[in-house]
Structure 1
Amino acid sequence: MDKVVTADDAVAAIGTGASLAVGGFGICGIPSALIAALQRTSATGLSVVSNNCGVDGWGLGLLLAEHRIARMTSSYVGENKEFARQYLEGELEVELCPQGSLAERLRAGGCGIPAFYTPAGVGSAMAEGGLPWRYAPDGSIAVASPPKETRAFGGREYVLEHAITTDFALVAAARGDRHGNLVLAKSAQNFNPLCAMAGRVTIAEVEELVEPGELDPAAVHVPGVFVQHVVHAPSPEKRIERVTVTAGAGAS
């Protein structure tokens, strides 16, 4: 039941071509210690599902800069200029998905639900197909999204979205015990639980490691049944995606 391992041991089984679900939003609540450990391996050709791809020089942006990621499934490009460049120049395949649909696809995968219908995207290229997943070097579309099945319920049209499961999931938590029960802080609660559910092997890095029984069961966001490995990563570096300042009173 003791699932605690080192970061390097935890990611050792992630090989070339593996699929990953990675928690976090922007660079909030990201598993930075696990990403750093994965960067130390030789794994490449990764297919990654995450809300976005970090930023230039941090988070998943570290793997992207080394061309270790072959495909991204995300809801937006965000602040990552290298992400945009690789996509537009045909170096990276990108499936963009509405944020709510992406979250539900991960949740559905973790619950064993193969697909679901949603109104999001009906009447757009998201449903009708033709979105560029990969560009050719000359700027033409090399791989386009396929059309999705639609169906009417109660006189309203819905589009079929398929669930997502991945080989591995990398998530971050504020607190966790040796059995893999996790407590998440604030905004880190958004995609981390969903990614933890969707991964066949889930690795969680925790800032504070406690003994079994110390966590209030009512406060647990991710039960240990979803987590295979726990990595203690105290005092992680936390960055701000976009720094903004407000002029103080009397400033010109």
Structure 2
Amino acid sequence: MDKTCESAAKAVAQIPDGATLMVGGFGGAGAPIELMHALIDHGPKNLTVINNNAGNGHVGIAAMIEQGLVSKMICSFPRSADPLAFTEKFLAGEIDLELVPQGTLAERIRAGGAGIPAFYTPSGYGTELAEGKPAAEFDGRMYIQERALKADFALIKADKGDPMGNLTYRMAARNFNPLMAMAATCTIAQVAHILPTSSIDPEHVITPGIFIDSIVVIPNPVQEEMLNRREAIYP
């Protein structure tokens, strides 16, 4: 039952070309930077990446895009604080984009983890985002059908974990991470602190270990914002 992995490099080595990958985080909060950088070193290509945004600066998801790992982004905010990497690739026709309203994105991921194939939402009805999607009227209001999102792998970040994979999160860093852990076939988590088995109060567990396949200890994780303030570039 011990799911700890000795390094980020070993944990992500199983991710192949063409995989669909969910990456946790809301901007820099809860973003598994070390796992993403290990993935860049591993070098799979043609990835479909699901995240809240399309990266900032030259680290994390932005670095994955710059290094040619990503062929498609599914996200809500492709234009964030410093989206140069995505913008250049998109304008050059080297990366595809599926734009999803933020609440819809969260619900599509949640539905994927809950085994719900599709749902209806009013968000996007009457816009270009609704083109080609079934529509229906409920109680006098029009809705469009959205399909669930699933992934082959998820990279997530938590604060504390135990060897069985039970996780807790730090404040807003929770965001998409628990949903993505449930919606992926294989979930790899990085944690800042590893605690003895059974030491986390079950009432405090946010992601049960059943949803985690590998756990990597990163004692002092970096923040995307700090790296960008230093104008860091990876690799």
For the criterion TM > 0.5, the same-fold answer is: yes
Distance in 2 between the 1:96 and 1:39 partners?
A: 24
**Count of paired positions:** 225
Instruction: For residues 129-170 of structure 1, give each alpha carbon's deviation from its aligned partner in whole angstroms, at most 9, with x where no partner exists.
Output: 2xxxxxxxxxxxxxxxxx110011111111000000000000
Structure 1: stretches of 5+ with no match in the other structure: 130-146, 244-252
Q: Residue 215 of structure 2 corresponds to which residue in structure 1?
A: 230
Q: Residue 93 of structure 1 corresponds to which residue in structure 2?
A: 96
1:1-252 equivalences in 2 (<5 Å)? 1-5=1-5, 6-77=7-78, 78-79=80-81, 80-127=83-130, 129=131, 147-240=132-225
Does the 8 Å contact 1:203/1:229 carry over to 2?
A: yes
Report 1 or 2 for greater relative contact order, CA contacts < 8 Å, sequence distance ≥ 6.
2
Structure 2: stretches of 5+ with no match in the other structure: 230-235
The structural deviation recorded for 1:240 is 2.2
AA partner of residue 196 (structure 1): A
The structural deviation recorded for 1:53 is 2.2
Does the 8 Å contact 1:115/1:161 carry over to 2?
A: yes
Q: Give the secondary-structure state (helix, strand or coil) at the position aligned to 1:104.
A: helix
Distance in 2 between the 1:95 and 1:170 partners?
A: 20
Q: What is the RMSD computed on CA atoms of the aligned residues?
A: 1.3
Q: Give the secondary-structure state (helix, strand or coil) at the position aligned to 1:10.
A: helix
Which structure shows the higher helix fraction?
2
Instruction: For residues 61-100 of structure 1, give each alpha carbon's deviation from its aligned partner in whole angstroms, at most 9, with x where no partner exists.
Output: 1111111100000001112112122112211101010000
AA partner of residue 201 (structure 1): C
Q: Give the secondary-structure state (helix, strand or coil) at the position aligned to 1:67.
A: coil
- Bigger Rg, which one: 1
TM normalised by structure 2 equals 0.92
Which contiguous aligned blocks of 4+ residues in structure 1 show a shift greater than 2 angstroms? 239-243
- % identical equivalent positions: 43
The structural deviation recorded for 1:236 is 0.9
Distance in 2 between the 1:38 and 1:199 partners?
A: 17
